[in-house]
Structure 1
């Protein structure tokens, strides 16, 4: 009997026995057929499919979406529509009339390459399926050994919530979003579950304001991982403010993430995945050459243990940061490697908001692909409006489009949210560069100084200050910074700084500050 062919390695493609294309246009329709074709008996329960493709919808909506998708699939299959069957509980493919390429172990193509369905449950299934197919032929690796999803419980279970719990839940949700963003293969929940981490917020309102207390709890050992509090004169204004709420929640999450690697747990995904990312971030944000190079090894190790788009995107960002600091040559090989990392990250984790945000950052800053950057950043900001990487990327993209007020507001938001966190120097440097472009000299100086103070090895803010002070006719301040920079950039040369277009001072050059600086610094040592 001639069979309908399901090609699942590489681009998803369904062809008739005569070679005509039967592939449906919709991504979820393709994903549904792939999930049926990849299952042992080519059958799945309706509820299982609904949970994988429409996990963000209520049951009734998900059921309706599944019915519509099945209709669309049957239309695309045409004369072969009867290979797809369904009843009240299940959906299936006729196993006697289809064939797949899943047993083709010689194929070098990835399972469902390029199929992006932004649903975390589908992404989780896709990652597991890819890892299963990568096993050597004949092995039988238990399902339990595949990467488990880390669960962060944010607040009270939904069935116990009341109107009074809405305000605390806003804080729970924001802290949970940030923590989840930095842990590969993780999710937030408010259901009754055996969670890896629990977030609880208490709010006590009085006439003179409100006290907000957040506790992050290790439910396995019944210990507090981190706790913090703040006071708000006007609780409603606090909860509506992206900057106030964002800064508080970001710092709670950042300090929690720093402490997670120290939890006394054996072989815990929560501990190991947070440890990889936090170690790499700390190394990059030292802006020390050796530490930044070491961060690449950390991320390679993380990716060896588990394929995750977040690790690859962070490696691309680390390499970009090294290029900006002058520790990595910006040549064709480096740019090709970074592009490949971003493409692979998107394939592995298409629904990961932090992967999208970090990729957007690289696209905006290194490649200047501003439309791509804005699209990726928008994806991340829809999930978390306080994502620092996405805010920066969106700011750069808006500035490139000439939307300077929006760019400034976004940069100011990221600068404010990052205060006191390990990202403070990075965000202040970005804000300084934008202020230089906008000729906001005093603000650029203030942000550059703060970035330099927070990170003693950070070259970029010191480079900006030399030109800014010289343009202000503060020659003494400029020369003081020159001597300071020479201690961390031993081959620094003032003439190269002023005249060599390959030296990383493009923003000062484009904004005219170096022209003014040459008048006072040229010829000095």
Structure 2
């Protein structure tokens, strides 16, 4: 398909911010590309790390509701439309039976600053799988832009923490007023676990309100057995609303304060605020700079790709060096664990040594941070099998913040290591529920699938693993569980589909390795005898 004709470098320019544009760099001709799925194909190739994707990967994001044969036919027609639009430049697209790619250097992406608008707003595709991919690309692009700006900044950021002020319109001392104060204080505390921040009193001890970066406003009303809390977080200098949600509950304000709905809302409010702080506070201070680096690292970390994991480690190290927030040390420790287990390097002493050093340093400096203790607990449990240290750190994390989803997940892992499966399941289910609105909810879903397999709850394990794969299409553990669980229940077609997916996202994956390599990361599946049915696929 014209792959042998090497075009000159940068023969076309593609704009993906604002209206979709495609033009020839030779004569300025507008290369009309009207079918939106053809636009989507070009966008997905252009934004891929090496501008290369498998046919099946693209089919699963543009025709996820169709069978493999029908999706493949639809892709072939979309490629015909794309080549027609490219005209004389159709040789920038390279296609074979398995892969699609762009000729190296033939396409130039127009920078966002030149076009304005949001990423891919000119591509209208309704497939939920495509929308999830676009959302992930948008988050990564936004984070990268902020980080690039922070790293380029000439001004040395100041060391002041982000200041938070909690306010309410409720009367002080009333039941509703006290509950409103509790809610906003919880959100402030959750923010401070991930971002260097401090809370200042509403009036500073006097009649004039002190200056603050963010205001956490919560108001609570009760009426006819219904309680409603309205939460709004605002950047005071610009008036920009970073988070806004109402939380309804049948019952009293006092009951609302301890409800699951409120715990979920508070965690969501804190997480989304931390992600948006760098966009409103900019480059002048260390706290938003390190937060931006850490947020981008987390998105890369959960890809489980070797290159992305290395980049995540580098970004977390930079985040730590910027201001010394201990949470980034703890995340780096967990990253060493993920690399050692996931990339077949479990016996590499440098990863073990690095994880041990980072977690020890984090515990020395953690200053009452529940998330730090929870991450240390998980690293000690999953990499070193240290049930005592893992249990102590998880308990300390829960004592600091009994609502923290990381702390609950850490205790679930520690309990499983100690042989208490039922308590592990209870903790895992609670942590997963608390994090149900998290951007990274797939992390809890994948862990819950492990606990459910270990405790014999196989249908629930399938649901949790499916949720993890849906939210994070590159999360290898979810596909490993689904491969084994589908095969175990006799659904060999779906099992084969999971096998093909693992072959795409995991270099060197084979069923022989999954079955026979004792270091392959399926310990729970192996110990429960769920790998045996995979032989039917060979």
Shift in Å at residue 325 of structure 1? Answer: 2.6
Matches within 5 A, 1:70-469: 147-155=159-167, 162-184=174-196, 186-190=197-201, 192=204, 193-235=210-252, 236-241=254-259, 243-326=260-343, 328-469=345-486
1:499 to 480, 493, 516: 516
What is the rounded CA distance, in whole Å, between the counterparts of 2:273 and 2:157 in structure 1?
27
Cα deviation per residue 1:102-130 (whole Å; 9 max; x = unaligned)? xxxxxxxxxxxxxxxxxxxxxxxxxxxxx
SS of the residue corresponding to residue 491 of structure 1 reads: coil
Pair 160,208 (structure 1): closer, same or farther in 2 beyond 3 Å: closer
TM-score, scaled relative to structure 2: 0.65
Pair 162,190 (structure 1): closer, same or farther in 2 beyond 3 Å: farther
Pair 353,266 (structure 1): closer, same or farther in 2 beyond 3 Å: same
- Equivalent residue number for residue 114 of structure 2: none
Shift in Å at residue 493 of structure 1? Answer: 0.8
Pair 159,307 (structure 1): closer, same or farther in 2 beyond 3 Å: farther
- Equivalent residue number for residue 38 of structure 1: none
Number of residue pairs the alignment of both structures matches = 376
Pair 358,190 (structure 1): closer, same or farther in 2 beyond 3 Å: farther
Shift in Å at residue 277 of structure 1? Answer: 2.2
CA contact (8 A) 2:233 2:243 kept: yes
Shift in Å at residue 295 of structure 1? Answer: 1.0
CA contact (8 A) 2:482 2:495 kept: yes
Shift in Å at residue 201 of structure 1? Answer: 0.7
Choose 481-490 or 158-167, whichever is displaced more: 158-167
What is the rounded CA distance, in whole Å, between the counterparts of 2:412 and 2:423 in structure 1?
7
Looking at CA atoms only, which structure, 1 or 2, has the larger radius of gyration? 1
Shift in Å at residue 290 of structure 1? Answer: 2.3
SS of the residue corresponding to residue 227 of structure 1 reads: strand
Shift in Å at residue 154 of structure 1? Answer: 3.0
SS of the residue corresponding to residue 531 of structure 2 reads: helix
Choose 385-394 or 504-513, whichever is displaced more: 385-394
What is the rounded CA distance, in whole Å, between the counterparts of 1:298 and 1:182 in structure 2?
15
What is the rounded CA distance, in whole Å, between the counterparts of 1:427 and 1:437 in structure 2?
15
What is the rounded CA distance, in whole Å, between the counterparts of 2:333 and 2:247 in structure 1?
36
What is the rounded CA distance, in whole Å, between the counterparts of 2:262 and 2:344 in structure 1?
36
CA contact (8 A) 2:168 2:180 kept: no
Shift in Å at residue 264 of structure 1? Answer: 4.4
Cα deviation per residue 1:448-506 (whole Å; 9 max; x = unaligned)? 11101111111111011111111112222211110111111142111111122121111
What is the rounded CA distance, in whole Å, between the counterparts of 1:481 and 1:504 in structure 2?
16
Shift in Å at residue 349 of structure 1? Answer: 3.2
Shift in Å at residue 159 of structure 1? Answer: 11
Shift in Å at residue 263 of structure 1? Answer: 0.4
What is the rounded CA distance, in whole Å, between the counterparts of 1:153 and 1:363 in structure 2?
36
CA RMSD of aligned residues (A): 2.5
TM-score, scaled relative to structure 1: 0.67
Q: Which runs of 5+ in 1 are unaligned?
A: 1-143
What is the rounded CA distance, in whole Å, between the counterparts of 2:215 and 2:266 in structure 1?
15
What is the rounded CA distance, in whole Å, between the counterparts of 2:464 and 2:417 in structure 1?
21
SS of the residue corresponding to residue 287 of structure 1 reads: coil
- Equivalent residue number for residue 95 of structure 1: none
What is the rounded CA distance, in whole Å, between the counterparts of 1:253 and 1:350 in structure 2?
19
SS of the residue corresponding to residue 267 of structure 1 reads: coil
CA contact (8 A) 1:365 1:393 kept: no
Choose 487-496 or 423-432, whichever is displaced more: 487-496
Cα deviation per residue 1:364-396 (whole Å; 9 max; x = unaligned)? 222221221222222222222222221111111
What is the rounded CA distance, in whole Å, between the counterparts of 2:432 and 2:475 in structure 1?
17
Choose 507-516 or 160-169, whichever is displaced more: 160-169
CA contact (8 A) 2:394 2:414 kept: no
1:482 to 493, 499, 502: 499
SS of the residue corresponding to residue 466 of structure 1 reads: helix
SS of the residue corresponding to residue 513 of structure 1 reads: coil
CA contact (8 A) 2:442 2:468 kept: yes
Pair 266,478 (structure 1): closer, same or farther in 2 beyond 3 Å: closer
CA contact (8 A) 1:214 1:228 kept: yes
Dislocated runs of 4+, deviation >4 Å: 156-163, 327-330
Pair 150,159 (structure 1): closer, same or farther in 2 beyond 3 Å: farther
CA contact (8 A) 1:215 1:226 kept: yes
What is the rounded CA distance, in whole Å, between the counterparts of 2:180 and 2:170 in structure 1?
13
Shift in Å at residue 266 of structure 1? Answer: 4.6
SS of the residue corresponding to residue 422 of structure 2 reads: helix
Cα deviation per residue 1:305-341 (whole Å; 9 max; x = unaligned)? 2223222111111222233332755421110011111
